[in-house]
């Protein structure tokens, strides 16, 4: 499969993002869709590509994010013009 290595890396990134968006509670059906495509790409790669992909994925550092965003959610009513969050006073 041409581009199997690149597609595999894309799929892993999509899977991790999808998992993060649902707080690691991805349904078995959604997970299975990724697994089928990942398996197909994996077995289409040469052994050297597989090793390279494993190394690239494990060398990735996790995304850093601030624990406190310095904002607070507000109550929003239909038709309101105010933002859904306000900056906390310092």
Confidence of residue 41 (pLDDT cuts 50, 70, 90): very high
Phi/psi of residue 73, nearest 5 degrees: -70, 145
Distances (CA, A) of 36 to 17, 20, 46: 17, 20, 18
Rounded Cα distance, 35 and 74, in Å? 40
From CA 15, how far away is CA 39, in angstroms rounded? 13
Average pLDDT for residues 45-66, to the nearest whole number? 84
Helix (H, G, I), strand (E, B) or coil at 87: strand
The domain segmentation of the chain, as residue ranges, is: 4-58
User: What's the predicted TM-score (pTM) here?
Assistant: 0.61
């Amino acid at each position: 499969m041409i581009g199997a290595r690149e597609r595999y890396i894309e799929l892993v990134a999509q899977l991790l993002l999808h998992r993060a968006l649902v707080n690691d509670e991805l349904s078995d059906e959604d997970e299975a869709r990724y697994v089928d495509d990942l398996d197909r790409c994996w077995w289409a790669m040469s052994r050297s590509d597989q090793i390279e992909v494993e190394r690239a994925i494990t060398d990735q550092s996790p995304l850093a994010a601030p624990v406190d965003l310095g904002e607070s959610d507000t109550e929003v009513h239909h038709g309101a013009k105010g933002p859904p969050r306000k900056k906390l006073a310092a």
